[in-house]
Amino acid sequence: MARVCYVCGKKPGTGNNRSHANNKSRRRWLPNLQSVKIITEDGERRRVRVCTSCIKAGKIRKAPPMSLVQA
């Protein structure tokens, strides 16, 4: 599964590690993705990977636990 945010499309960034000896090696900065259950526009429950900045900003609607839905 790709490391991409479902809402904003945030992906890993790339760059170099730089040592004190000025050695260069490639590295990646990964987005902070969390797996959450959401309610889509269709009213469907779905598990997606969303970055924490989108969760904090309220860009998704979390699905309530199934125990509350059935009650």
Instruction: Confirm whether 26 is domain-assigned.
Output: yes
- 61 falls within a domain: yes
pTM beyond 0.85: no
User: In this prediction, what percent of the chain has a pLDDT beyond 70?
Assistant: 94
Counting the structural domains of the chain, the total is 1
For residue 39, what are the domain limits?
A: 13-70
Q: Is residue 43 part of a domain?
A: yes
Q: What is the pLDDT of residue 33?
A: 97
Task: Identify the residue whose tokens are 């900045």.
Answer: 53
Question: What is the domain-level CATH number for residue 39?
Answer: 2.30.170
Does a structural domain hold residue 3?
Answer: no
For residue 56, is it within any domain?
A: yes
Q: Distance between CA atoms of 71 and 61, rounded to whole angstroms?
A: 20
Collect the ranges in the chain with pLDDT lower than 50: none
User: 28 lies in a domain?
Assistant: yes
- 56-71 per-position pLDDT tens digit: 999 999 998 877 766 5
Cα–Cα distance measured from residue 62 to residue 71, given in angstroms and rounded to the nearest whole number? 18
